[in-house]
Structure 1
Amino acid sequence: MATAVRTRGYLDGLDAETFDLHAYLAKFDPRLLAEPEGRRTLTRLDPLLFGLVYLRHHLRDAEGRLTFGDAHLDWCRAARAWVRPPTLPAEHRDAYIAPRNMGKSTWWFLILPMWAAAHGHVRFAAAFAASATQAETHLSSFKKEIDTNELLRRDFQDLCSPAKRPSGSNVADTQSMFIAQSGFVFAARGIDSSNLGMKVGERRPDLILCDDIEPDESSYSLDLAAKRRTTLVDAILPLNVYARVVISGTVTMPGSIVHQLVKHARGVETAPWIQEEGFAAHYTPPIVKLASGYERSVWPAKWPLDYLKSIEHTRSFAKNYANDPMGADGALWTVDDFRYPGPEGPDPITHMMLSIDPAVTAKRGSDFTGLAVVSWSAETRRCTVHEAIAVKIPPGEQLRERVLALLDEWPRIGLILLEVNQGQDVWQAVFHHMPVRVKTVSQSEPKFVRAEGVLGHYQRGRVLHARRLRELEEQQCAFPKAPHDDLVDAVGSAVRRFLPTKSRQVSKAEAASYL
Structure 2
Amino acid sequence: MNRKDKIALERYRKRLEFARSSGEVNAFETKAEQKARIERAKKDYAYMCKEYFPHYATSEPADCHLKAAKQTMKNPTIKKFDEMPRGFGKSVMDDILIPFWLWINDQAHYMVLVTVSKDRASELLEDLRAEFEGNPKIIHDFGEQHGHGQWEKGFFITKSGFVAKALGAGQSVRGLRVKSRRPDYIVVDDLETKELIKNPKRQDEYVKWIERDLIPTMDGDIRRFVYANNRFAPVMIQTKLQEKHPEWVVNHIKAYDPVTYKPTWHQKYHDNYYRELEKDIGTLALEAEYLQNPQVEGYYFKPEHIQYGKMPKLNQFKIIIGTWDVAYAGSATSDYNAIDVKGLHDKNFWVIDTFVKRCKMVTAVSYMCDFQKRLPKTVVVHWRFEAQFWNDEVERVIRETERQYGIKLNILKIQVPKIKKMDRILTLHPYYQNGRIFYNEKLKSHNDTQVGIAQLLSIEPNYKTNDDYPDTQQTGIALLEPYNTQNDGLNYRQGKMRPKNERI
Which TM-score tier does this pair reach, normalised by the shorter chain? Answer: 0.5 to 0.7
Q: Which residue of the partner structure matches residue 500 of structure 2?
A: none
1:306 aligns with 2:306: no
Separation (CA, whole Å) in 1 of partners of 2:466 and 2:266? 36
1:192 maps to amino acid: G
Query: For the residues of structure 1 that align with 2:275 and 2:91, how far apart are their CA atoms?
Result: 26
Answering whether residue 49 of structure 2 is matched by residue 71 of structure 1, we say no
Deviation, 1:58, is 1.6
What's the CA shift for 1:473? 6.8
After TM superposition, the structure 1 stretch with the greater mean CA deviation from structure 2, 252-261 or 491-500, is: 491-500
Find the counterpart in structure 1 of residue 263 from structure 2: 297
Q: 1:195 aligns with which of 139, 162, 173?
A: 173
Summarize deviations over 1:466-488 as a string: whole Å, max 9, x none.
x99x9x976634679x9969998
Q: Secondary structure at the match of 1:287?
A: coil
Q: Where does 1:109-508 land on structure 2 (aligned, <5 Å)?
A: 109-157=95-143, 160-162=145-147, 170=149, 172-195=150-173, 198-215=176-193, 217-218=194-195, 220-223=197-200, 224-240=202-218, 243-258=223-238, 272-275=243-246, 278-288=247-257, 296-312=262-278, 314-326=283-295, 331=303, 339-340=355-356, 343-344=364-365, 380=382, 412-416=415-419, 451-452=432-433, 456=437, 476-477=456-457, 502=492
Q: Secondary structure at the match of 1:137?
A: helix
Matches of 2:177 and 2:95 in 1, distance apart?
19
What amino acid is the match of 1:48? A
- 1:346–1:157 Cα change, 3 Å: closer
| CA–CA distance in structure 2, aligned partners of residues 206 and 385 of structure 1 | 59
Percent identity over paired residues: 17
Q: Deviations over 1:463-514 (max 9, x none)?
A: xxxx99x9x976634679x9969998x969877766668379989xxxxxxx
Query: Is the Cα contact below 8 Å between 1:125 and 1:187 reproduced in 2?
Result: yes
Letter in 1 for 2:492: K
Which residue identity lines up with residue 109 of structure 2 in the other structure?
R
CA shift for structure 1 position 257: 3.5
- Cα 1:456–1:48 change in 2 (3 A) is same
2:41 is matched with 43
User: What is the deviation of 1:100?
Assistant: 0.5
SS of corresponding position for 1:205:
coil
* Alpha-carbon distance between aligned partners in 1 of 2:51 and 2:97, rounded to the nearest angstrom: 11
* Contact 1:46-1:80 within 8 A present in 2 as well: no
Displacement, 1:238? 2.4
Q: TM-score normalised to the size of structure 1? A: 0.57
1:339 counterpart letter in structure 2: F
2:227 counterpart SS class: strand
Contact residue 178 and residue 186 of structure 1 kept, 8 A = yes
Task: Kindly indicate whether the alpha-carbon contact (under 8 Å) linking 2:78 and 2:223 is maintained by their aligned counterparts in 1.
Answer: yes
Please say which structure displays the higher CA radius of gyration. 2
Q: How many residues of Structure 1 are paired with residues of Structure 2 in the alignment?
A: 363
Q: Give the stretch that moved more between structures: 134-143 or 217-226.
A: 217-226
CA displacement at 1:144 relative to structure 2: 0.9
Summarize deviations over 1:321-345 as a string: whole Å, max 9, x none: 1111138797357999963486438
Q: Any conservation in 2 of the 1:128–1:189 contact (CA below 8 Å)?
A: yes
Per-residue CA deviation, residues 43-66 of structure 1 (Å, 9 max, x unaligned), is: 222232222222211222xxxxx4
1:144-200 Cα distance to aligned partner (Å, 9 max, x none): 111111221222226x132x6xxxxx2x32322212232211111122322356322
- The one-character-per-residue Cα deviations of 1:35-87 (angstroms, maximum 9, x if unpaired) are 54333222222232222222211222xxxxx44333333233334326xxx3x
**Closer, same or farther in 2 for the Cα pair 1:504/1:298, shift >3 Å?**
same
Deviation digits for residues 92-148 of structure 1 (CA, Å, limit 9, x no counterpart): 111111220211111110111122223321111111122323211121111111111
Conserved? CA contact 2:111–2:185, under 8 Å: yes
Work out the CA distance in 2 between the residues paired with 1:283 and 1:143.
29
Query: Which residue identity lines up with residue 273 of structure 1 in the other structure?
Result: K
In structure 2, stretches of 5+ residues that fail to align are: 1-27, 308-337, 341-352, 369-379, 390-412, 482-490, 498-504
Give the whole-Å Cα distance in 1 for the aligned partners of 2:297 and 2:96. Answer: 30
The 1:45/1:187 distance shift into structure 2, 3 A limit, reads: same
Q: Is the 8 A contact 1:251 1:324 kept in 2?
A: yes
Does structure 1 retain, via aligned residues, the 8 Å contact 2:86–2:290? yes
Q: Work out which of the residue numbers 52, 55, 71 in structure 2 matches 1:54.
A: 52
CA distance 1:32–1:74, shift in 2 (3 Å): farther
The answer to whether the Cα contact below 8 Å between 2:386 and 2:415 also exists between their aligned partners in 1 is no
Q: State the SS of the aligned residue for 2:64.
A: helix
